[in-house]
Structure 1
Amino acid sequence: MKSWGNRNTLHESMVKNMMAASAGNKGSDAPELPDDLAQWLAQLTLLYGVPTEYLIPDPRLLPTESLRFFFLDRNWMDRLVDGALSTGVLSSRDQVFTEAFFENIYTQVDEAQIKLRSTLRNEPSNIGTTGGTISGFIFRSQVVSGWPGIEINAYQGDKLLNIVRMDRLSPNVLLCLFYGVPDKVDFSEPAEGLHFGITREKGTQSFEVSMRGLGYPSEAVHPAGTQIGSITAAGKLRNGTQPGVVDIAGLADSITKVLTANNALADNKLTPGGFAIQLTQGAGRQSYQIKDDSGNQYPQCNYTINSIKTI
């Protein structure tokens, strides 16, 4: 038997009938994707398994020590799902079935998408709705390889955005996807980066230490561990055959004088514990502000990868 009509046109009435039957039965005839298949398709829409050269076709788009923001186009992600499902279309009947229920399939993939990271981490998902914008960045830096436990926090106003994927594409390339579009992204050293020490310019013999409160004369005035305004104490290195050795006695004396002058030291005596608090350095944090205080987007953070607007 032969038809001169377009095959898709021939299927239109069948698709409408299947959709009407599904609606009449309140979706009872709609297909339910197996969990494994839904998760696999969700991983695909979050770029799992997508070759890196498809995301960054030219290395010059992501030079060393660079950060590129972008957003995912859901139309392209749906086409990615279509391509994956097409491998199971073996007849015109399979094609009609897929055409009839594609929206239902996309919805199930979206639901699996927002739960994927929580499922992999064995945590409850706290993303309530589907269909939102997914944005992210690709970061190429020695920071990625130097701090394997680097922590990422993205904010939209005061709201902390959920991370839907965070993986290393290579030892020094990090891919991170958020559910939403951030105004600011914080990169923090791992919490174990807390250490005891000083910070000084290379080649200099002197340095300054920012003063922290010790809870005196009260927690309300100088809370323990909290920096006291912009007050600093000067310190220097010892003169001797061993370079880089701090003059501990001189630094302790300098700290004592500064805290005493600001009524922040009990009995004008600096205890070993108080000295340790002054020299404790927390994990470093670098923030990238994508929008200014007025909500205007900075031109250098326009969510593009050079000439590539979406991936």
Structure 2
Amino acid sequence: MTTHPTERSAPADDTPVSFHDHLLPGIEAGRYRITVDQQLPAEDLPGARLDPVEQIVNVRAAQFRLDPSWVHAVYPAAHSQGPFGGLLPHITLNPAALPWEREPFTSGVQNPARDARAPWLALLLFGEGELPGDPNALGTTASVTVRALLDGDAAVYGPALDRNAVDPALFDTPCQVVDVPRDLLAQLLPEPSDLAFLAHVRTGGEDAAPGAAPDASPDAAPAEGHDGRLSHDGQRSQDGRLSHDGRLTQDAHAVITTARFPGTGRGRYAAHLVSLEGHVPPPGPQAADDKPVRLVSLHSWTFTSCPASGDGFGRLAGRFTPGNGEHSAAPLRPAPTAGSGLPDELATLLEQGMVPMTHITESGERALAWYSGPFLPRVAPGLPRPEHGHFPDADGLLLHEPRTGTFATGYACAWNVGRALALADPGFATTLVRLRHQGRLRRATERQYTTYRRQLFHSAPSAGPSGPAPRAAVRAAAPTPREQFEELLRGDALSALAASFGTPGDDDAEPRPRTAPAAPATYRLHAPPRSAAPQPPSSDARETAAWLARLRTLSGVPFDCLVPDQRMLPPESLRLFHVDRGWLDALLDGARSLDRHPAADTATDAELDGLLDDQGSVPAAGLLLRSALVPGWPTLRVEARTASGTVPVKVIRREPLGGDVLLMLFDRMPDRLTISEPHQGLHFGVDDQGNVALRSLAPGEVGRPLERSVPVGTDPALTVTTPAGARVLDIGRLAVRLAEDVKPGSPLSPAELAVQLVRAPEQLTLSFEGTTR
């Protein structure tokens, strides 16, 4: 078993990650006047000159509200806690051009010496007691209408926006705002000329669309890092900016970071993605009053930063390594208490994953029984099936345990659970009963048709050398109505029908004339046989099979049936298990027991079995993770692979159960498990010593560690402590300082600075080769 939560490790996925300075839209949001003037070459002709035509066009983009689906990820995760003191929180947006669709501030401040363009969005971090309207840093905002925001408020400094460029339909819609003290805003926001360093575009990685190229600039040669995973795009178009390219937007995400570090002590923080459009660069107007600045908050979340001794990702994941007692990754079993003195046969049952339970018999008596759920620390033997293939009731699944003289009730419980879940879903129960009735009706019709055809065959007159047999020899009793109808067909009426419709016995022959009917013995007295082509399954059959396939992944099964004893899964533990196929079969048999008649529903059950085989893989193994990693990192990455480490194990189901339990089911038992921070864990900041580990920017070696670093956290010129106690990074001065080491003589671009500030996500690799599971 190995662990490597190193700062120099590459991103957890194998897809290259590229950084770009920005992605400029084809046209910026605003109000445009389009003038069309047309003039013919010969001015002396009548109508040669036409009056110009003008049209006002409003190009609108997100301004007061942000679609929640546009927020791809945030870091730190919402409501998480950990040692985030050396990290720069950031937000990842799906529309890659969104931060550059508008202009920041009213004066359009821009540093002409730099090619990068400043975004109109900024990420601000506020601690407890800093915002008057949110003293506890819970992310609280005030709601005002767009009309009220445009009209302004005498108590605050609001944005100066063009009312004519706003859609009137938005005037009465609400937007969220925060009122920030002017001196605090001046301390947190960088210089307008340095604002561009806080936003960039990232392509590739786990977020990449399938088949999308990691480098999307049309005229930029791929610049892969030393490990093939980090790169930056240093190419520029003629105006010194990245041109808007459709390929880039396929897998691109905009990333906006804050310049403020969370505190090293414990404290809650609220992060707000705010709009700078229409504002004056801080410190703002010099006035005697102390009015705050009203900013539109497009998205907000909270997290808690605690000291390094707290439960961060590395500390939490490190508990699963060997030697950590009950926290270690181990099979799922109720281990006997040390020194309990249990007999060997009882200890063996516990080692096999069985739990002692109280069994109430049908007569009301209480007895000791053993229960085992679908998750076992061993490969379970096959469950013998009855002759007709399905168990009729739960009593047939009570297995006798000869060593203790008790019953094993696991399979019987699975049957009852399946039946209870089927009855609790009226839609499924109705569909299953209707499917069975349709099958019975279809088979009854086929049997009736077969019987009728056989009767017609036996009642047909046999032709001898002298012609048909006498009628009296066929009937031994009074004729029935059917026999009378058949007698009618055997006479002249049958000959007339045969002459009209042709000879059924010879489809290719010409119709015989009415005057020459064929002999009665040559006619078919039954319809031609039906086609042998298989019929497609009905919608009820497909719906039933899909429901059963979900149940086969234990969807809806109570957690107590999966883990019968909480001591099997203590807090901060990881447990591996094999899935008992017999338990799954018993569960499905109970669900399919509604209105089942074994003799009449054989064909329906066979049809369902065939459809279930086409519903994907059957779970064979899995893991249960009970840890603070589950709520703290909602998109935690767990990769299971075989012993070679190259073949991934198929994940059949992944779902959080409760607040801190994660369930994963695989198609086979993995030999290697990698737990890593999610892709938004590709974050930015300094290491534990407050240093920035330098990376190469040379073509073909982008991202390669240079084995040297720049102290940032201890340099007061680079990390400024504000009067409010906040640690704010002087992003512009840092870019100049890093350029001296990695790019002498040239300034760093936002993409190049992002490469320097990358902190790879931590990960833990557990190896199980050669171990007994």
TM-score (norm: length of structure 2): 0.27
Match of 1:74 among 574, 581, 600: 581
Instruction: Give the Å deviation of 1:102.
Output: 5.6
Match of 1:38 among 530, 533, 545: 545
Instruction: Give the Å deviation of 1:50.
Output: 0.8
Matched, 1:173 2:644: no
1:5: which partner in 2? none
Match of 1:211 among 694, 697, 709: 694
Q: What SS class does the counterpart of residue 164 from structure 1 fall into? A: strand
1:148: which partner in 2? 634
Matched, 1:288 2:766: yes
Q: In the alignment, residue 626 of structure 2 is paired with which amino acid?
A: R
Partner Cα separation in structure 1 for residue 668 and residue 759 of structure 2: 33
Note closer, same or farther for the CA distance 1:280–1:141 as it changes in structure 2 (3 Å cut): same
Partner Cα separation in structure 1 for residue 768 and residue 696 of structure 2: 33
Note closer, same or farther for the CA distance 1:44–1:61 as it changes in structure 2 (3 Å cut): same
Matched, 1:59 2:566: yes
2:598: which partner in 1? 95
Q: In the alignment, residue 767 of structure 2 is paired with which amino acid?
A: Q
Asked whether the equivalents of residues 30 and 101 of structure 1 are also in contact (C-alpha less than 8 Å), the reply is no
RMSD: 3.9
Note closer, same or farther for the CA distance 1:104–1:183 as it changes in structure 2 (3 Å cut): farther
Instruction: Give the Å deviation of 1:145.
Output: 0.8
- Residues 133-184 of structure 1 deviation map (CA, whole Å, 9 limit, x = unaligned): 6221111111111122223322223112222111111121111112222222
Note closer, same or farther for the CA distance 1:98–1:289 as it changes in structure 2 (3 Å cut): farther
Match of 1:271 among 721, 740, 748: 748
Q: What SS class does the counterpart of residue 764 from structure 2 fall into? A: strand
Q: In the alignment, residue 233 of structure 1 is paired with which amino acid?
A: S
Instruction: Give the Å deviation of 1:270.
Output: 6.2
Asked whether the equivalents of residues 144 and 172 of structure 1 are also in contact (C-alpha less than 8 Å), the reply is yes
Q: Aligned runs of 1:236-255 on 2, under 5 Å?
A: 236-238=713-715, 242=725
2:678: which partner in 1? 190
Q: In the alignment, residue 271 of structure 1 is paired with which amino acid?
A: L
Asked whether the equivalents of residues 237 and 244 of structure 1 are also in contact (C-alpha less than 8 Å), the reply is no
Q: In the alignment, residue 38 of structure 1 is paired with which amino acid?
A: A
Q: What SS class does the counterpart of residue 744 from structure 2 fall into? A: helix
2:708: which partner in 1? 232
Asked whether the equivalents of residues 186 and 285 of structure 1 are also in contact (C-alpha less than 8 Å), the reply is yes
Residue ranges of structure 2 left out of the alignment (5+ in a row): 1-385, 390-442, 444-530
Asked whether the equivalents of residues 252 and 270 of structure 1 are also in contact (C-alpha less than 8 Å), the reply is yes
Asked whether the equivalents of residues 238 and 247 of structure 1 are also in contact (C-alpha less than 8 Å), the reply is no
Asked whether the equivalents of residues 238 and 244 of structure 1 are also in contact (C-alpha less than 8 Å), the reply is no
Note closer, same or farther for the CA distance 1:70–1:30 as it changes in structure 2 (3 Å cut): farther
TM-score (norm: length of structure 1): 0.62
**When the two structures are aligned, how many residues end up with a matched partner?**
237
Asked whether the equivalents of residues 623 and 664 of structure 2 are also in contact (C-alpha less than 8 Å), the reply is yes
Q: In the alignment, residue 267 of structure 1 is paired with which amino acid?
A: P
Asked whether the equivalents of residues 163 and 178 of structure 1 are also in contact (C-alpha less than 8 Å), the reply is yes
Asked whether the equivalents of residues 167 and 176 of structure 1 are also in contact (C-alpha less than 8 Å), the reply is yes
Over the matched positions of the two proteins, sequence identity in percent amounts to 30
Partner Cα separation in structure 1 for residue 533 and residue 593 of structure 2: 23
Q: What SS class does the counterpart of residue 592 from structure 2 fall into? A: helix
Partner Cα separation in structure 2 for residue 226 and residue 160 of structure 1: 27
Q: What SS class does the counterpart of residue 655 from structure 2 fall into? A: strand
Partner Cα separation in structure 2 for residue 198 and residue 40 of structure 1: 50
Matched, 1:135 2:613: no
2:612: which partner in 1? 109
Partner Cα separation in structure 2 for residue 144 and residue 65 of structure 1: 10
Asked whether the equivalents of residues 233 and 255 of structure 1 are also in contact (C-alpha less than 8 Å), the reply is no
Per residue, is there more helix in 1 or in 2? 1
Find the structure with the greater CA-based Rg. Answer: 2
Q: What SS class does the counterpart of residue 50 from structure 1 fall into? A: coil
Asked whether the equivalents of residues 694 and 710 of structure 2 are also in contact (C-alpha less than 8 Å), the reply is no
Residue ranges of structure 1 left out of the alignment (5+ in a row): 1-7, 13-17, 19-24, 115-129, 201-205, 260-264, 303-311
- Residues 70-107 of structure 1 deviation map (CA, whole Å, 9 limit, x = unaligned): 12122221121112112322xxxx12355677666444
Partner Cα separation in structure 2 for residue 63 and residue 190 of structure 1: 24
Q: What SS class does the counterpart of residue 167 from structure 1 fall into? A: strand
Q: What SS class does the counterpart of residue 550 from structure 2 fall into? A: helix
